Amino acid sequence: MSESLRQLAELFQENNQFVILSHVRPDGDAFGSSIGLAFILKEMGKEVRVFNEDGPSDVYAYLAGSLSVEKTPVEPPVGSPKVIAVDCSTQERLGERFQGWGVRPDANIDHHPDNPGYAAINWIDPRALATAEIIARTARDLGLPLCAEAAAALYVGILTDTNSFSFRPLRPETLELAASLIRSGADPEILSWRTFRNFSLNRFHLLREILNRTRFSAENRIAFYRLDADLYAKTGTTSLEVENFLNYLQLVQTVQVAFMVEEIGPQLTRISLRSIPLIDIRPVAAHFGGGGHRNASGARASLPVAEAERQLLEQILPLLRSTS
């Protein structure tokens, strides 16, 4: 057993009050990991609260325990509970409210390769495809109790971060851990429906609008769309609902890079970028002061949307592979 894992086991055993926190704008792995770990610790008889800068989310309301996620309080809870950060690559991403507590997390469980190890105990495995995978494996290796509710939450963490086991360099271990979560009571069919077939009719209309706006460039090797500031209002949606829509542009075989530009203000543009496994898209995000993963990056550019779009096309062009 590694030293970090031994320390983590000790932290779990020797304390009774825990707070679990994850990153702002939480996704399925942030929620799944937080809630899954909370159930595990509760089964061990511990007092656990789950905080998030953004509070609970309707999107994951089908997960038991999801609606008991609380908005991070401004003051730290009394009793100095141990703080565990999950799926959060930097301490800053735990949110402003947590920063106000002026404390350092006791543990940091994560799979992001750029996690600098900001906590007292850092249990980081960049080979894992989701933090939920690390927690499922840790529970198994330490013999911690895993109820059906924990298994479901962790399954959803893996499901979302692996995009339903697709387009990722899956390891056999990930599939085997997912199998073990099904054995522990996660219902793969229902969880997959709830996770992926959850569009509101408005969101469907937003998708339709985005596909209608999609343009192709550079011999169809680039696909992109532009969102105006008023589109969400017009379709009755929010910016969270546009998440993952670049996947649809990537359906096209010739597309090597897909991006979107979203007008946040007259001089502010949100950029999101995706690329095929062969292309490292991070330099393009870095050009605009952003960052992220090799094949999925983003930035906020202090530029008008049309100018950001122009520079993006210019920056992406030299990265494209020739079509033979």
Report the interface residues with a copy of itself, using CB under 8 A: 159, 164-173, 175-176, 178-180, 182-183, 188-190, 192-193, 196-201, 203-204, 207-208, 211-212, 214, 216, 220, 250-255, 276-277
Task: Give me the least distance between CB of 3 and a copy of itself, in Å please.
Answer: 29
User: Would you say 185 or 304 has its CB closer to a copy of itself?
Assistant: 185
Task: Give me the least distance between CB of 118 and a copy of itself, in Å please.
Answer: 30
Task: Give me the least distance between CB of 192 and a copy of itself, in Å please.
Answer: 4
Are 40 and 48 spatial neighbours (Cβ–Cβ below 8 Å)?
no
Q: Which residues, 6+ apart, have CB-to-CB distance to 139 below 8 Å?
A: 40, 145, 146, 150
Task: Give me the least distance between CB of 182 and a copy of itself, in Å please.
Answer: 5
For the record, the structure tokens of 122 come out as 């850092």
User: Would you say 113 or 277 has its CB closer to a copy of itself?
Assistant: 277
Q: Which residue has the tokens 């511990």?
A: 46
Q: Which residue has the tokens 């949606």?
A: 237
Q: Angle 131-142/3-14 helices, nearest 10 degrees?
A: 80
Torsion of CA 170, 2, 10, 36, to 10 degrees: 0
Task: Give me the least distance between CB of 95 and a copy of itself, in Å please.
Answer: 29
User: Would you say 229 or 240 has its CB closer to a copy of itself?
Assistant: 240
User: Would you say 97 or 111 has its CB closer to a copy of itself?
Assistant: 111
User: Would you say 91 or 180 has its CB closer to a copy of itself?
Assistant: 180
β-sheet bridge partners, residue 262: 227, 270
Task: Give me the least distance between CB of 169 and a copy of itself, in Å please.
Answer: 5
DSSP state of 321: P
β-sheet bridge partners, residue 299: 271
Are 257 and 274 spatial neighbours (Cβ–Cβ below 8 Å)?
yes
Q: Angle 172-183/148-161 helices, nearest 10 degrees?
A: 150
Task: Give me the least distance between CB of 111 and a copy of itself, in Å please.
Answer: 16
DSSP state of 195: H
User: Would you say 115 or 195 has its CB closer to a copy of itself?
Assistant: 195
User: Would you say 220 or 238 has its CB closer to a copy of itself?
Assistant: 220
User: Which CA distances in Å does 136 have to 62, 156, 178, 257, 280?
Assistant: 20, 12, 9, 33, 30
